Structure 1
Amino acid sequence: MLQVQEKAGSVFFSIKAQPRSSKSMITGEYDGSIKVNLKAPPVDGEANLECCRLLARTLGVARSSVEIVSGTRGKMKRVKVFGLSAVEFTEKITPYLYSSP
C-alpha cells in the first residue's frame, strides 16, 4: 500500500526512479513507493527534473509545487507536493498505480 504523509498543506511520499527508460511514466507501486520510469539519464539532475515534471503533470499542479526533498542522487527519493491533501493526492495518483501502461 502506498505510504503518504500530510503535513502543513503538503503531501510527502517516496518514489523509486528508473532512469534511462524508453518512456517516462508511472508504472505502479513498489514497497509503499511510486515506481517511476524516466527517459532522462541520471546526469546533472536531468532525471530529477523530469521526475518533478511528470509528477506535476500527473497531479495537475504547478512544477514549482513539486520538490525532491531527499534522495536526489539515488533511485529512492522522498518527494513533497505543496497544495494537495493526502486524499486529493491518492485520488489523482491511484489510477496510474493500478492500470496497465
Structure 2
Amino acid sequence: MSDFARFAVKLTPGASLDRIDGWDVDAEGRAILKVRVRARPVEGEANAALLKFLAKTLGVPKSAVTLQRGGQSRLKMIRVDGLDDDGVRANLTAL
C-alpha cells in the first residue's frame, strides 16, 4: 500500500459552482475524475481552486494535494498524499 494516490482529472473552469461530476474513462481505459470549478483559467486560479476543492472534498490538508502534470491543460494529473487510491475512490464515491 502506498502513502499517496495519483489520478487524472478533467477540469472544467468557469462553472456555476464547484462540483464533482463523477468518474469517466479515457480512450485508453484510464479512469478520469470530472470536476468543475467556478474559477476562471486565468493566472492559475482554476488550478488553485481545483486543488483547494479536492483537499476539502477528500478531507486532507491543502498541502497534501499537488498538481503533477497539466498546468495549462484541461487534463491534469493530481497527487494526494496521505490517502491511497482506494481511499480516494471511497471518499469520492461517498459523495
TM-score of the aligned structures, taking structure 2 as reference length: 0.89
Structure 2 stretches lacking a partner, 5+ long: 26-30
C-alpha distance in 2, partners of 1:76/1:24?
17
Q: CA RMSD in A?
A: 1.2
The structural deviation recorded for 1:29 is 1.5
Maintained 8 Å contact 1:15/1:35: yes
Q: Does 1:58 align with 2:52?
A: no
Q: Which amino acid aligns with 2:52?
A: R
C-alpha distance in 2, partners of 1:86/1:19?
25
Deviates more, 1:65-74 or 1:81-90: 81-90
C-alpha distance in 1, partners of 2:5/2:94?
18
Match of 1:15 among 2, 9, 13: 9
Amino-acid identity (%)? 32
C-alpha distance in 2, partners of 1:30/1:20?
20
Give the length in aligned residue pairs: 90
Q: Does 1:91 align with 2:90?
A: yes
TM-score of the aligned structures, taking structure 1 as reference length: 0.84
